[in-house]
Amino acid sequence: MDKKEEQLLIDLTTARGVPGNEEEVREVFKAYAKDFAEDIFYDGLGSVIAKHVGDGGGPKVFISGHMDEVGFMVTKITDKGFIEFQTLGGWWGQVMLAQEVEIKTQAGKLVHGVIGSKPPHVLTPEVRNKPYDIKDMFIDIGASSEEEAKDWGVRPGDMITPYIQYKRMNDSKFLLAKAWDNRIGTAVSLRVLETLAAEGHPNCLFAGSDVMEEVGLRGARTSTHLVNPDIAIALDTGTAGDTPGMTPKEADSVLGKGPQVLIFDASMIPHKKLLNFVINVAEELEIPFQYTVITGGGTDAGQMHLTRDGVPSIAITVPVRYLHSHTSVIHEDDYLNTVKLVTEVVRRLDDKTVKELRSY
């Protein structure tokens, strides 16, 4: 991966964007896509879509990640200047305490803070030995009063994001950052757009990134309705099973072994012909991939496939360690192979192929 491509990942993961507050990520997307798109447009919620018409302008193919990351929202400032907050997206309380965060005010000021709680020294043994309840956590921004916090611009509704810097771990191919879920899917969408714009393709490609996936796949419903595609591919992340303590059943997905092709998740059973088509492309070109089942979650494909009269859809994901935390980890090769697989799938979705996939 060259420096330009890695800079895209740095820019995307550095951008702050919880559900409903995706402006920074959208600006990164637009700045990168503008050189490869004939048009960039938006749904009414702020999902962004870049259009590129290929040779002959064949079927409409929609590939999309999502811009939002799990984070928090300010709900109240206490009289002593501490911040009460609401989680946005699925958080496990055990990964939150003592983690640094940033509050972005309406004026764009960044206010640094740390997630705190009562010290364990004052807790009873019974309480101390249980996971700490998220509702009892707070954010300490170093303010001494509600008035001081307000003077800094903090107010209810402000976005709160994890604070961590992108790192290539010890010169390896393991990349650590916040928000791989789902800036890596957004990066795949942009890179496929760039490649096919340069090399050509037989269809009308819509490469996008949706808002508010983490709170119920909301942006995918509106963006897919707007595009009205013939085929849709959700680009997201999935759990890795290669860390200590995982059972053999949980250890199916390994970082570095390729993208995950979802054969089932809680939001969608993939279109069988499209699923077989994707697998056949991967096997023909010897692109490594992994079969994945997600029983407790879903992707934007869960809304894509239900749009209008129904859209043949599938989800292709990048495996990630420590999802929905401040510090998630991916493998560079999985990202590059996901770009390769999605590029080749889209390249082959010509009019004849799409008609066959959509025939019953």
| Mean pLDDT in consecutive groups of 10 residues from the start of the chain, 360 residues | 95 98 98 98 98 91 98 98 98 96 98 92 78 94 98 98 98 98 98 97 97 97 98 97 88 93 94 98 98 90 97 98 97 98 98 97
End position of a domain, from candidates 155, 184, 208: 155
Residues 149 and 198 in one domain: no
48: domain CATH number is 3.40.630.10
Domain that holds residue 133: 78-155
pTM equals: 0.96
Residues 144 and 261 in one domain: no
- Give the separation between CA 263 and CA 50, rounded to whole angstroms: 28
Residues 121 and 252 in one domain: no
End position of a domain, from candidates 155, 190, 211: 155
CB atoms within 10 A of CB 249: 8
What confidence score (pLDDT) does residue 71 get? 98
What confidence score (pLDDT) does residue 297 get? 83
Is 214 annotated in a binding site? The answer is yes
What confidence score (pLDDT) does residue 40 get? 98
End position of a domain, from candidates 123, 155, 187: 155
Is 171 annotated in a binding site? The answer is no
What confidence score (pLDDT) does residue 122 get? 76
What confidence score (pLDDT) does residue 200 get? 95
Residues 209 and 176 in one domain: yes
- Give the separation between CA 247 and CA 203, rounded to whole angstroms: 43
Assess contact for 264 and 293: CB atoms under 8 A: yes
Is 236 annotated in a binding site? The answer is yes
Residues 146 and 170 in one domain: no
Our count of domains for the chain comes to: 2
147: domain CATH number is 2.40.30.40
What confidence score (pLDDT) does residue 327 get? 96
- Give the separation between CA 252 and CA 242, rounded to whole angstroms: 8
Residues 127 and 187 in one domain: no
Residues 187 and 277 in one domain: yes
Residues 227 and 331 in one domain: yes
What confidence score (pLDDT) does residue 152 get? 98
Which phi and psi (to 5°) does residue 58 adopt? -75, -145
What confidence score (pLDDT) does residue 248 get? 83
The residues carrying an active-site annotation are 213
